[in-house]
Amino acid sequence: MKYLKRILIALCVFYFVTALQSFSQELTVYQFIGKTKSDVIKQYGKPIHSDESNPDMVCIFYKKNQDTMIFVSDKTSVYQVDAMKFYPTEASALTALNSAVQTAISQSFSPDTLSSSSFKLYKPGVEFNISVNKASSGTDYQVKLHAAHKE
């Protein structure tokens, strides 16, 4: 019985560590600016939809529950990323926002604070905005991220 209990605890720990990694990946998608479409697919797996009708604007879409990620690339690299992640409380959304901003700053991004719930960050070649808003459903809060390649 103790052995079964230990296995169950180990599985729970694994689940939460995996969930935390997924959480941080969704709010650091700006790191894919300048990388290839195949790098995105390697990281996130097969997208739920891909629009390759225009080779200069290939869009790939990921969705998990309400959370979404959209990558736009040309033949060589990703040049725009949009992500939206939902949280049950404003506090949890602000915690995620602050964590993402701190991660970006540690990666040499310069912040421009627009408000306590909205930031613009940039470094040569990449610029992104991240903000917390009340979701249209009225019960959840969403963290929105828009990143783009800048010359």
What local confidence, expressed as pLDDT, does residue 2 receive?
55
Q: What is the pLDDT of residues 124-142, one digit of tens each?
A: 999 999 999 988 877 899 9
pTM (predicted TM-score): 0.79
pLDDT tens-digit readout, 3-28: 444 444 444 334 433 333 344 457 88
110, 91, 96, 106: which is closest to 144 by C-alpha? 96
Q: What share of the chain is helix, strand, coil (3-state, %, to 5)?
A: 35, 40, 25
